[in-house]
Amino acid sequence: MSTINEIEDLRRLARKRVPRMFYEYADSGSWTESTYRANEREFGRILLRQRVAVDIGQRSLRTRMLGQDVAMPVAMAPTGLAGMQHADGEILAARAAKAFGVPFTLSTVSICSIEDVAEATGGHPFWFQLYVMRDRAFVERLMDRARAAGCPALVLTLDLQISGQRHKDLRNGLSAPPRLTLRNLLDMAGKPRWCMGMLGTRRRTFGNIVGHVQGVENMTSLAEWSSQQYDPTLSWEDVAWIRRRWPGKLVLKGIQDVEDARLALGCGADALIVSNHGGRQLDGAPASIRALPRIADAVGKHIEVHMDGGVRSGQDVLKAVALGARGVYIGRSMLYGLGAMGEAGVLKALQIIHKELDLTMAFCGRTDINRVDRGILLAGESRDSTANAEHAGHAEHAEHHAAQAG
Ligand code: FNR
């Protein structure tokens, strides 16, 4: 196996090892995939200021997210079907997160259940992501189960009242477990590691749902139930209801607009995540990193602002922190690690990002992630990009303040 030096190496290996249906489920966005691509691309347009002859001998990336100590400002994004990228995927990713000292978020539509992950990680706290289903009694039971498992934070996803269409999933006939068509069998035959893993586990369908909803015992009934369950009527009243009912930290995920950020603040949430669901919902929405600064400016003093979308390197993490994010989440960077090498692959993804973040911060002449601000961003150069003109303005503004503060 060739050496793994960057997230792209993990992605390539995952593509070789994971059946196409599940690899493409991760590596895809809705419709034209323009927002999916923009999430990555816009990071590349932001330029960093190199500083020299600054003492960078002692450096720290340690910080806090939702009051929790973290090894770096990076958490695992909730991703559905992670247990199909690799057998027992959510358990393996949660273990890697625990070992590294960053938060793991379990999706409602995971393969391993809340209870499975809690047991396998020895009660180490993880966060739980909630989709509001029409069946509110099921939603209440999910919250109770997350609480019983010791989850300190609930990540409530607000941008999936309806589903964006991903052409690849339709073409591949995505399902968990996969249907045993000739095409799927031929594809899986070329992925022996994945097959061996799957043969060795009993977890092959939605662990939080099957057996927990009356009448949902098999794939057919599950498909029928879930196709009708995402709730298009979800409103801020429901958010307020969940706030009242959930005693722990509440994080609102999927905020792209300043007005919605203010509403999130008004609901008493502890944090919000600037996110476009990794480009899987509204195709044409701006890249998350472009939406971030305005939201951070509007509400960042009162509520923790997190972001996700397109983070593939430590440089990306640093830019997001500079633009006002207290922390970021990684979706695909984690999934590629998982598909490539299971737990070791997720650990590798975290190590890669940590090292890149550490060195990049140092090149910018900074030694403490908690003191990184817009002053590390370079004004000018790519003024042709709207995103950068915006950032350049902020950077100049930050520098001006820094000068005033001495
Ligand atoms: C997701 N995402 C997601 N979000 C959520 O709240 N619940 C979920 O079940 C899922 N499922 C899911 C599956 C897959 C395969 C992907 C790629 C993403 C969105 C996820 O939490 C996050 O917002 C994005 O993944 C961030 O973008 P990057 O890091 O993947 O570019």
- Buried b / exposed e across 295-325, counting CB within 10 Å, b at 16+? bbbbbbeebbbbbbbbbbbbbbbbbbbbbbb
Distance 77 CA to ligand 1 centre (A): 6
Q: Which residue among 86, 212, 277, 401 is the active-site one?
A: 277
Query: Predicted confidence band at 84 (pLDDT cuts at 50, 70, 90)?
Result: very high
Q: How are strands ordered across the β-sheet holding 74-76?
A: 74-76, 327-330, 304-308, 271-274, 249-255, 153-157, 127-130, 105-106
pLDDT of residue 403: 34
Distance 95 CA to ligand 1 centre (A): 19
pLDDT, tens digit, 9 for 90 and up, residues 122-179? 999 999 999 999 999 999 999 999 999 999 999 999 999 999 999 999 999 888 888 8
Average pLDDT, the chain: 92
Q: What is the mean pLDDT of residues 16-44?
A: 98
pLDDT, tens digit, 9 for 90 and up, residues 300-351? 999 999 999 999 999 999 999 999 999 999 999 999 999 999 999 999 999 9
Q: What is the 3-state secondary structure (H, E, C) of 196-221?
A: HHHHCCCCCCCCCCCCCCCCCCCHHH
Q: From CA 346, how far away is CA 274, in angstroms rounded? A: 23
Q: From CA 137, how far away is CA 124, in angstroms rounded? A: 27
pLDDT of residue 72: 99
pLDDT, tens digit, 9 for 90 and up, residues 261-314? 999 999 999 999 999 999 999 999 999 999 999 999 999 999 999 999 999 999
Residue nearest atom 9 in ligand 1 by C-alpha distance: 80
Distance 277 CA to ligand 1 centre (A): 5
Burial class (CB in 10 A: 0-12, 13-18, 19+), 21: buried
- The verdict on whether 212 is a catalytic residue reads no
The alpha carbon of 302 is separated from its chain's Cα centroid by a whole number of angstroms, namely 22
> Taking a C-beta distance cutoff of 8 angstroms, is the pair 236, 268 a contact?
no
Atom of ligand 1 nearest to the CA of 332: 30
Distance 278 CA to ligand 1 centre (A): 6
As given in the structure block, the two tokens for residue 254 are 């999927």
Residue nearest atom 11 in ligand 1 by C-alpha distance: 79
351 or 211: whose pLDDT is higher? 351
Distance 153 CA to ligand 1 centre (A): 17
| Ligand 1 proximal residues by C-beta, below 6 Å | 25-26, 39, 77-80, 107, 109, 129, 157, 253, 275, 277-278, 280, 308-311, 330-333, 335
Q: What is the mean pLDDT of residues 348-377?
A: 98
Stated pTM of the model: 0.93
pLDDT, tens digit, 9 for 90 and up, residues 188-201? 999 999 999 999 99
Atom of ligand 1 nearest to the CA of 107: 9
Residue nearest atom 18 in ligand 1 by C-alpha distance: 79
Alpha-carbon distance values, 160 to 277, 278, 339, 342 (Å):
8, 12, 25, 28
